[in-house]
Amino acid sequence: MRHTLIALVEDRPGALNRILGLLRGRGLGLHSIAVGDSETPGVKRATVLVDTESVEQTIKQLNRLIEVLEVTDVTNAEYVVRETALVKIHAPEPRRDEIKTVADGFGARIVGSSPQTVVVEMTDTPDRLGEMIARVMAIGACETMRSGSLAMALAGPAPRVPAPAPEDATRVWWSQADGIS
Amino acid sequence: MTDERTGAQVMCEALVREDVEVMFGIPGGAIMPFYHAMWEYRDRLRHVLCRHEQGAGHAAEGYARSTGKPGVCVATSGPGATNLVTPIANAWMDSTPLVAITGQVSSAVLGKDAFQETDITGITLPITKHNYRVSRAEDLPSVFREAFHIARTGRPGPVLIDVTKDAQQARLVPDWNVTLNVPGFSAPVGLDPRAIREAARILAGASKPLILAGQGVIISDAVAELRTLAERTGIPVVTTLHGIGAFPEDHPLSIGMPGMHGWVHVNRAIQECDVLLCIGARFDDRVTGKASTFAPRASVIHIDIDPSEIGKNVKVAVAIIGDARAALRALIELIPPRDAAIWLRNIRETQATHQHRQPYLRRPDTTELMPHDVYAALNAALNKRGGYRVITDVGQHQMWAAQLIEWRRPRTHITSGGAGTMGFAVPAAMGAAIAHPDETIWAIVGDGGFQMTNQELATIGQEGIKNVKVAIVNNGYLGMVRQWQQLFEGRRYSGTPLTGPSFAGLAEAYGLRGFTVDRIEDAEEAIRAAWDHDGSVVLDFRVEREANVFPLVPPGLSIGEMITREAPA
């Protein structure tokens, strides 16, 4: 079954690689992953759409990764999903009006063009994006670029970032060794 | 005199601060600055030059498993690092605290396919708890501190630190006042009192309770607590392969090992029990057989420090996440004394019927040395003398050792379990021998596994290690595979017959003593001579070639369906 997970991940080298490697190694299907900065410096927030038989196991396995701070499954919560698509449509001048009509109907925008092409941007649910893309594909050859789903639960606690360990604990620990230097 | 150091000196100092006393490794170009610095620390940091990095890694594992402290191995970049992959994977599967240090090419050429460059952090991603590539010398104190903390905390495991050559060479004034800041590494949390109460309630109401004890009991130093709990409640105790030693096998409540080569009475007890208290074990498929049919009548209570093990293979009624010792102490407080004598008597009756130590009956028409003759002699010697540890390899000899030696103390039985790494025993025994110079370290190994890493006999010779005694159970086959071919593939012995040199002669060539034993009446005397010899020894026991390990649960079947002897021909 497909689950929508939201993960908070420390921005360290290889962190994303570890998440992808874990999903592959455990034989889980990754549908999409979208990552970007969170409200906390040094911490990324990712939306992961993954096919798994046991989401509890998947979350526990992800939590074993050192950089993963928190994983939430929002699949059964009230949440919104948005995805952005850029669609480049190869269409001659005479058909541009048609494209504009479709775009307007979907709340999409034309964000750029060249003599041969028009680029449309749209942000909506993945299903609505699919519908729009199907419509413009009937007009001309299309190249699509989609961001992957971004999800956010409507409710939930205020964001909480784990506090760093108190510094004095560190000093005690090191002083146990016979000091050199 | 300034406080300036090289990165390599900082690495050495970090190891001293972590109480490391010995490391196992092989130098090479990208790790040379570290070896250069090591020279100044040679009175505090012993370096054992191994003959292959795989040997260095397993030696560090043997050190770690016999002491509970992290083992340290060192290799250079490229092939040196990739040769560590097998021991790292082995440590990952068996929860062994291991810190692997590798050299990496200089950051100036990193990513340019430089000589001996390999992306070892990428390669070891799925088989380490964590790994680091360090290219700034300033990061070394905090990275070493984090690495050792992660390797030994919670469920132990391997951590790799890859240090570029320029970071080793850089000069810096190290700042040792580093803050341990790993918020994503969930250190063990407090026990959930509701889970403890619920577990106690279920155990109190059980009529056929059973304890399944794994390596977690040994790692968390909960052997005394396990014994108290068992004695207070009369619950029989099963020990997994890695749990061997967590509960003495001469104790009246010990019933033995479960699983693919477990005893009939143990597997039947698991299938019949109504409550199964699993402590620090992970329901490996070699224990459960077909997992959906495992312990069908039981409410399972699972104590584990790793939350991801809960419910992974077997459904649990109550999960207690935390340290096994703390959990057992809390349980002991809550469980009233009880009695399971009738249940235990039933198990013992099954045991008597199946005469569990008798499937190795000598064929009437042969006087060949049988494996069980070797184990009988070894068992007698071990239990008479004490002061030993046994390292086993992987295969038939490993299962015979688990079955036929009466294990009594934790960390005396060390083997490669989860990964099943042939070649583990000889180098791991070397590591354990260095950790415990006053004990006798037996390596029991097949002729297949012995030939994978026996180059470390040279290391044993060079280091003057006197307390390794290797017992090769030599049947001229990759025996476990051959056994499966015999039982399930119509005796098509494809790729399993195996020759070798004179192993006794090989030992002598390496400067050790070697003896060949092929007669029953010589086994005991050879073991005595090896034990008393002031130096390391190889005993080559030429045993009956087609002896089998029984009982056996055929792969994919329920543990209730055991084969206990060969079908009559």
Examine the domain organization and report whether A65 and A89 are in the same domain. no
Does B367 reach chain A within 8 Å, measured CB to CB?
Answer: no
The 10s digit of each residue's pLDDT in B531-565 is 999 999 999 999 999 999 999 999 889 998 888 87
Residue A53: inside a domain, yes or no?
yes
Amino acid (1-letter code) at residue A64: R
Q: Does the annotation count B358 as an active-site position? A: no
Residue tagged 């295969």 (tokens): B395
Q: What is the dihedral of CA A133, A136, A137, A141, to 10 degrees?
A: -120
Residue A88: inside a domain, yes or no?
yes
Give the residue on A whose Cα is nearest the Cα of B311.
A57
Q: Which residue has the higher pLDDT, A181 or B368?
A: B368
Examine the domain organization and report whether A58 and A110 are in the same domain. no
Examine the domain organization and report whether A93 and A43 are in the same domain. no
- CB < 8 Å from A in window 68-127 of B: 121-122, 125-126
Residue A11: inside a domain, yes or no?
yes
* Three-class SS state of B2: coil
Examine the domain organization and report whether A68 and A97 are in the same domain. no
Residue A179: inside a domain, yes or no?
no
Contact A63 B186 (CB under 8 A): yes
Which of B4, B40, B115, B566 is an active site residue? B115
The answer to whether residues B426 and B450 touch, using CB atoms and an 8 Å cutoff, is: yes
Examine the domain organization and report whether A68 and A86 are in the same domain. no
The 10s digit of each residue's pLDDT in B148-174 is 999 999 999 999 999 999 999 999 999
Examine the domain organization and report whether A93 and A41 are in the same domain. no
* Three-class SS state of B272: helix
Domain CATH number, residue A141: 3.30.70.1150
Contact A165 B311 (CB under 8 A): no
Per-residue burial over B240-266, b if 16 or more Cβ lie within 10 Å, else e, is bbbbbbbbbbeeebbbbbbbbbbbbbb
Count CB neighbours of B75 within 10 A. Answer: 30
Which of B13, B18, B53, B225 is an active site residue? B53
Examine the domain organization and report whether A29 and A85 are in the same domain. no
Examine the domain organization and report whether A52 and A90 are in the same domain. no
Of the residues A77, A101, A124, the one at which a domain ends: A77
Per the document, the length of chain A is 181
Q: How many domains does chain A have?
A: 2
The answer to whether residues B470 and B537 touch, using CB atoms and an 8 Å cutoff, is: yes
Residues of chain A with pLDDT under 70: 160-181
Examine the domain organization and report whether A41 and A15 are in the same domain. yes
Measure CB to CB from residue B311 to each of A17, A57, A178 and give the nearest one: A57
Measure CB to CB from residue B184 to each of A22, A69, A169 and give the nearest one: A69
Examine the domain organization and report whether A44 and A7 are in the same domain. yes
Q: What is the dihedral of CA B131, B133, B139, B145, to 10 degrees?
A: 20
Examine the domain organization and report whether A51 and A105 are in the same domain. no
Which residues does A45 contact at the CB level (< 8 Å), separation at least 6?
A6, A7, A8, A9, A35, A36, A37, A38
Q: Does the annotation count B165 as an active-site position? A: yes
Does B498 reach chain A within 8 Å, measured CB to CB?
Answer: no
Q: Which of A39, A4, A33 is nearest to A21 (CA)?
A: A33
Contact A174 B122 (CB under 8 A): no
C-alpha triplet B143, B93, B23: angle, nearest 5°: 45
The 10s digit of each residue's pLDDT in B249-262 is 999 999 999 999 99
Examine the domain organization and report whether A57 and A85 are in the same domain. no
Contact A54 B184 (CB under 8 A): no
- CB < 8 Å from A in window 259-318 of B: 306-308, 310-312
pLDDT, mean over chain B? 95
Domain that holds residue A118: 80-150
Q: Which of A14-18, A137-141, B206-210, B366-370 has the lowest mean pLDDT?
A: B366-370
Report the C-alpha gap between A145 and B468 in whole angstroms: 63
- CB < 8 Å from A in window 402-441 of B: none
C-alpha triplet B555, B556, B558: angle, nearest 5°: 105
pLDDT for B360 equals 55
Residue A97: inside a domain, yes or no?
yes
The 10s digit of each residue's pLDDT in B19-33 is 999 999 999 999 999
Q: Which of B86, B82, B77, B184 is nearest to B127 (CA)?
A: B86
The 10s digit of each residue's pLDDT in B339-362 is 899 999 999 999 988 755 555 555
Residue A174: inside a domain, yes or no?
no
Residue A84: inside a domain, yes or no?
yes
Residue A170: inside a domain, yes or no?
no
Of the residues A77, A111, A138, the one at which a domain ends: A77
Q: Does the annotation count B515 as an active-site position? A: no
Q: Is the pLDDT of residue B566 over 80?
A: no
Domain CATH number, residue A58: 3.30.70.260
Domains and their CATH numbers in chain B: 5-172 (3.40.50.970), 193-354 (3.40.50.1220), 371-542 (3.40.50.970)
Q: Smallest CA–CA separation between A27 and chain B, in Å? A: 13
Q: Which residue has the higher pLDDT, B3 or B360?
A: B3
